[in-house]
Amino acid sequence: MMGDFLFSDEPEELESEVELGTWKVLIVDDEPEVHAVTKLALSDFEFQNKRLEFLSAYSGAEAKELVKAHPDAAIVLLDVVMETDDAGLQVAKFIREEAQNNHIRIILRTGQPGQAPERQVIINYDINDYKSKTELTAQKLFTVIMSSLRSYRDIISIEQSREGLEKIIVASRDIFATRSIEQFIEGVMQQLTSLLGIADQAVYATTLVAQNLEESSNDKLIVRSGTGEFEQSEGKELDAVLPHEQLEACHKALKDKSIIYKDNYLFAYCSSEYNHNSMLFISGIPKDLSDTQRHLIEIFSQNVQLAFENVQLQQR
């Protein structure tokens, strides 16, 4: 009984660890002791509720394969002298020039500073820090990892914003170019999939709601088009096709003229030039949306209704 009790919590712990996420740190050094000491010194490290995931390489050749296999790695702790006197420098050059990875933070560690003078290395190679192994105490290692992760986080955030802006531009171009309601809803779903990173096999139930431009006095939300379970709901009142829990979220989004997020779905109020109340409902979204994704949804929802009304005007 005691054994059963002790082992019963293990699946939950494993599940929690998976959901937590990690920062990938590549350790590149030909001395196994360096790997062991580094992992020990950073064993309890945590940043933004994510722990470190260590990946080891013991030569420059192994390091290059590791870099190619893990393009999302945040940091590489890179020894200079391995199978050759400049193996580490060649790895740094490979990362930036051949792998075209400008995100990963390269921290050069050397036990022989005279072999690769700091000034020359900093000038000639795109690295982010240079440390002698003798000076890199546990506390200094903690500090350099923390500062490097903050830099990596900010770089990724900027890159996501840039990619998101490109997607918004493409989405606006594609959606405003549509000539029918069917093309419109298909375009909306395609762009939302791109913005949110939803897998193709996920289940979507999406409804774009808006009154006919000539029915501005009607305050009922009518399903105009949808996918999944809402395919057969066109022409019905939205209140009649939503379960109670979702209906409450919908009414709150409508009242606050905002976006309401739940575990796996959201309601987004869409602004209108004609003062229509319009709602966009999306389910099957990722549980943990980033701030960038939320911002993109906000921008997207502000433009969706304008595009929809543009389609209606063209059809008239």
Residues in CB range of 265: below 8 A, 6 or more apart: 205, 246, 249, 281, 282, 283, 284, 285
Cα 106 to Cα 118: distance, rounded to the nearest angstrom: 14
Q: Tell me the residue type at 221.
A: L
- The residues near 29 (Cβ < 8 Å, ≥ 6 apart) are 35, 58, 77, 79, 82, 109
- The length of the chain in residues reads 316
**Residues sharing a CB contact under 8 Å with residue 63, sequence separation 6 or more, in sequence order:** 26, 28, 57, 76, 78, 91
Strands, sheet with 207-209, edge to edge from the N-terminal-most edge strand: 223-226, 207-209, 278-283, 265-270, 259-261
pLDDT at 33 over 60: yes
> 2-155 has which CATH code?
3.40.50.2300
CATH node for 178-315 = 3.30.450.40
pLDDT at 217: 43
* pTM (two decimals): 0.59
**pLDDT over threshold 50, residue 11:** no
For residue 83, pLDDT beyond 80: yes
Q: In this predicted model, what pLDDT tens digit does every residue of 168-188 receive, in sequence order?
A: 666 556 555 555 555 665 666
Least confident of 153-157, 201-205, 238-242, 254-258: 201-205
238 or 3, which is more confident: 238
**CA-wise closest residue to 85 among 55, 136, 121:** 121
| Helix or strand holding residue 137 (H, E) | none
Beta strands in the chain (DSSP E): 22-28, 46-47, 50-57, 75-79, 105-110, 129-132, 207-209, 223-226, 259-261, 265-270, 278-283
SS3 state at 57: strand
- pLDDT exceeding 90 applies to what percent of the chain? 31
pLDDT on residue 162: 75
| 166 residue type, one letter | E
Residue-range domain boundaries for the chain: 2-155, 178-315
Report the pLDDT averaged over residues 58-69. 95
